[in-house]
Amino acid sequence: MLKIRVIPCLLLKDLGLVKTVKFTDPKYVGDPINAVKIFNDKEVDELIFLDIISTNKKRKPSFELLSRIASEAFMPFSYGGGLRSIEDVKRIMEIGVEKVVINTYAFENPEFIKEIADMFGSQSVVVSIDVKKNKENNYEVFVHSGQLGTKINPVDFAIKMEKIGAGEIFLNSIDRDGTMEGFDLELIKNVSSSVNIPVIVSGGAGKIEDFAKAVESGASAVAAGSFFVFVGPYRAVLINYPDKKELRKVLK
Amino acid sequence: MIVIIDYKMGNTGSILNMLKKIGETAVISSDIKDINNADKLILPGVGSFDTGMNNINNSGLLDILNKKVLKEKTPILGICLGMQLFANKSEEGIKRGLGWIGGNVVKFKFKDNNLKIPHMGWNEIKIKKNDVLFKNIAEEPRFYFVHSYYFFCNDNNDVLATTNYGYDFASVVRKDNIRGVQFHPEKSHKYGMNLLKNFAQLC
């Protein structure tokens, strides 16, 4: 049977890897190519790379870096950050990236999702939804690396994105990002029960049992950042990935 | 020389990357001369059946492919959509397939709706018939799949391996020199690397 995907989500800033807490305070955690090589050895299920500054600085993706990553990535991998034209998406696909992740531009121009799906198939377009609780304590979708509120509810946005052609939803809790305190299970339940496409969840994983809880709440795949790059109470940087047997025990 | 056929249907870069990693020489090409000189062919593909067949027809590759594969018996490996194009036709479209392996491409249909389509992620294969592709295969081999349709072979003898998603479907097929895999070996770590190596060195 199909296995639950366990996906390291790696953040790119300039040419290095960083990790944030609640989308702020990026801390350098290493070299992306080196990380890919380690994740190859660990036979990781899949990787997601997100460039966290391209969109805000109106930069294009670093095609050269992505080519180097692709030449070492013998697992499926997705890329997001600064993608605003179908030509750039095409170039990314030719490099050997399986899926593109669209966040801000999915909100600004939803037709872009349809355009990608029509050209490359729905399976190649992931819409990433960053969610934070607003002052009224309601879930709200944020864009521009979590800086700009949209007043839109994540469930409504996910349904809209599925309709227009998204193949997967990448659901990220800004409040839990980097905290390692566990996933926002209520958010996961709300979104995954309202769409038919796979929902990859992220934000808050601190231990392997957290993944199981996310799956019980409806997640199709689980992602994390800190969990795969830090170890111990002092958050020492060490790229790691749990043993397959250990994962299988927890994720039935 | 292995030629990865470029008919504008994606994932050629990943295949070349993995072949390089295992020390094989390969080119991505849509040039009839390159294809004519190839010792082995790989037909990749991500996208829809009709677009795939249209692109093969429009790029003028149909005759040379038929000649290489059916007359000269050049080993060919179809990957994902590339494999599905070997069939006679597909529920996904109205175009005729290459018709190299008897069968049709059909969509997953489930009685209960718990299973999502596409079938996306890592899954196992069960070997039904031995083949050089499986030489030195690791224990519990797993491969990366992304597809909504699968190959339904007319002749069960053409099925080398099956995978279970709701029910068993053909995940590796073969007829003579023509082999196809539904999964993506180029994205399946050492399991895929071993399979591509076997294709490159033993087929």
Reduced to 3 states, what is the DSSP secondary structure of residue A2? coil
Q: Which residues of B touch A (CB under 8 A)?
A: 10-14, 17-18, 20-21, 46-48, 113, 116, 118-124, 142, 144-146, 164-165, 184, 186-190, 192-193
Which pLDDT score is estimated for A107?
A: 97
Domain boundaries, chain A: 5-250
Tell me whether residues A98 and B187 touch, CB distance under 8 A. yes
Note whether A193 and A218 are within 8 A (CB): yes
Averaged pLDDT for residues A13-21: 94
How are beta strands B159-165 and B126-127 bridged, if at all?
antiparallel
Residues 6+ apart with CB under 8 A from B119: A2, B108, B145, B146, B147, B148, B165
Which pLDDT score is estimated for B113?
A: 67
Tell me whether residues B120 and A3 touch, CB distance under 8 A. no
Using left for φ > 0, alpha for ψ between -120 and 50, and beta otherwise, residue B73 falls in: left
Residues of B with a known catalytic role: 80, 184, 186
Which pLDDT score is estimated for B179?
A: 98
Mutate to test the interface with A, among B189, B190, B191, B193 (most CBs of A within 10 A): B189
Note whether A141 and A152 are within 8 A (CB): yes
Which pLDDT score is estimated for B111?
A: 84
Place of tokens 């399946």: B188
Which pLDDT score is estimated for A211?
A: 97
Into which CATH architecture does domain B2-202 fall?
3-Layer(aba) Sandwich (3.40)
Share of chain A above pLDDT 90, in %: 87
Which pLDDT score is estimated for A180?
A: 96
Range with lowest mean pLDDT among B57-61, B80-84, B113-117, B143-147: B113-117
Which pLDDT score is estimated for B89?
A: 97
Per-residue DSSP letter, A199: E
d(CA A61, CA A74): 21
- Above 90 in pLDDT, residue B118? no
Which pLDDT score is estimated for A55?
A: 82
- Above 80 in pLDDT, residue B51? yes
pLDDT band at A80 (very low <50, low <70, confident <90, very high): very high
Burial A91-104 (b: 16+ CB within 10 A, else e): bbbbbbbbbbbbbb
Per-residue DSSP letter, B186: G
Beta-bridge mates of residue B135? none
Would you state the structure tokens that stand for residue A177, as one six-digit string?
């990002």
Q: Is B83 exposed, middle or buried (0-12, 13-18, 19+ CB in 10 A)?
A: buried
Q: What is the pLDDT of residues B63-115, one digit of tens each?
A: 999 999 999 999 999 999 999 999 999 999 999 999 999 999 999 999 876 78
Q: Which of A45, A51, A130, A177 is catalytic?
A: A130
Share of chain B above pLDDT 70, in %: 100
- Give the CA diameter of chain A: 47
Mean pLDDT of chain B: 95
- Partner residue facing A120 (CB), from B12, B46, B120: B46
Beta-bridge mates of residue B3? B27, B41
Mean pLDDT of chain A: 95
Which pLDDT score is estimated for B112?
A: 72
d(CA A160, CA A191): 12
Which pLDDT score is estimated for A121?
A: 85
Q: What is the pLDDT of residues A97-137, one digit of tens each?
A: 999 999 999 999 999 999 999 888 889 999 999 999 999 99
The values of phi and psi at residue B195, to 5°, are -65, -45
Domain boundaries, chain B: 2-202
Averaged pLDDT for residues B148-177: 97
Give the CATH number of domain A5-250: 3.20.20.70
